[in-house]
Chain A
Amino acid sequence: MCTVCGCSSGPKIGGKAHAHSHAHAHDHGDLTHARTHEHSHSHAHDHAHGDHDHNHSHGADHDHHHYGQGAAGVSVPGMSQSRLIQIETDILARNNSYAASNRRVLAALQAFAVNLVSSPGSGKTTLLCKTIEALGDQPLAVIEGDQQTSHDAERIRATGARAVQVNTGKGCHLDGHMVGHAMDDLHLAPQSLLFIENVGNLVCPAAFDLGEDAKVAILSVTEGEDKPLKYPDMFTVAKLAILNKTDLAPHCDADLDAYEANLRRINPDITVLRVSARTGEGLAAWLEWLRAGLRVKARS
């Protein structure tokens, strides 16, 4: 269990430390607003795992409340000082509101954003560099998510594209808030492509909406045909799967049809493209998929 992910050590965006109280409301609809956020961090909780009181209550048989006995939502008689507050709020409501704000900015710009998700080492950054080169003068920008280092943003910038690195620290995923700040820094041009390269992780990023138009799962042919079955959540939420490094398939006995069958078993709606970023095989179909996405945004 990763007990530290997402907590206390705040993310760095473009090298600037960002610590947040999570208590401020802000609106990424204002594209000129940026760079000078003042935040205080209110989650300075200590992690003394091991010597703290582990106080679990599993519901029915503890000394205070006995919900299980009655209809849901009915307070227990004799506990008149207590009251029940109905909440019905999504735990990720705050993330989702940041994502919605990002989505409004992208819609106003008619920009098409993809959230690239995969295991570490699937070839996301190489694919992105080749994609940027092939797209020529198409306006685009990149948000690079990694726990540490700005290596990937530097690789992207070497192609001439604009890139912001977000270091999540201990965090295992990008969230809507981080992406909003990074978008502020990027000053996207109208009808841009925005590539958000998430932290290499096939689990956590599935749950966090960033405001993107599509999640694109990248899977390299060396990872095993059953990977979609092992990590179904990510492949369920992805619109497109790129089966990357197809040039290696003959060397590692990879069965590309089995990869596709397993992807479709998890997600019957998923589009699958076979690509080798190294040789350029299949790249044209991926570029066309991106351009089709841009056209849809331009019409809406």
Chain B
Amino acid sequence: MHEMSLAEGIRQIIDAQAAAHGFERVTTLRLEIGRFAGVEKPALEFALDVVLRGSSAEGAGIEMIDLPGRALCYDCGETVEIADRLDPCPLCGSGKIMPQGGDEMRIKDMEVI
């Protein structure tokens, strides 16, 4: 739902990088999005298409890298990887698990000319 705000955050970072590094154009932008980040990837792609117009990254290829969801199981004490927020612990079957990662939203890197 807030993908437009995220896209604006991405543009701010790109604009700052353009000022710092003096490149002409971003050709590829790589984002890392955690599985539990609450980001709807098609919505973010649509928002970026609009927000990046007129920037050095207009028309850049967007790659989104999924990062896994991780959680701590309160019953067996292990940190486990889960695909879905409501999945039980894959080791002991407990439902008492707390997300420990997978909410990342990062610009990893970008290729520029």
Contact = CB atoms under 8 A, between A and B. Distances in A.
Say whether A and B bind each other.
Answer: yes
A87 B108 CA distance: 5
A92 B105 contact: yes
Interface in B31-70: 31, 36-38, 40, 42-43, 45-47, 49-51, 53-54, 59-63
A52 B54 contact: no
A85 B23 CA distance: 10
Contacts of B45: 56
B107 to A, nearest CB: 5
A232 B86 contact: yes
B11 to A, nearest CB: 8
B1 A204 contact: yes
A233 B36 CA distance: 8
B79 interface: no
A64 B110 CA distance: 13
Interface in A1-22: 1-7, 22
A81 B113 contact: yes
Given A45-B51, A54-B49, A268-B96, A6 B8 contact: yes
Interface residues of A, number: 61
B76 interface: no
B109 A85 contact: yes
A32 interface: no
Q: Give the dominant DSSP class at B's interface.
A: mixed
A56 B64 CA distance: 12
B86 A86 contact: no
A150 to B, nearest CB: 23
A67 B8 contact: no
Given A65-B111, A85-B110, A232-B86, A3 B61 contact: no
Given A57-B61, A88-B106, A92-B6, 14 more contacts: A1-B40, A1-B46, A2-B4, A52-B49, A54-B49, A55-B49, A62-B61, A65-B27, A82-B27, A90-B104, A90-B105, A175-B5, A203-B38, A264-B96
Interface of B: 1-6, 8-13, 15, 17, 21, 23, 27-28, 30-31, 36-38, 40, 42-43, 45-47, 49-51, 53-54, 59-63, 74, 85-86, 95-99, 104-113
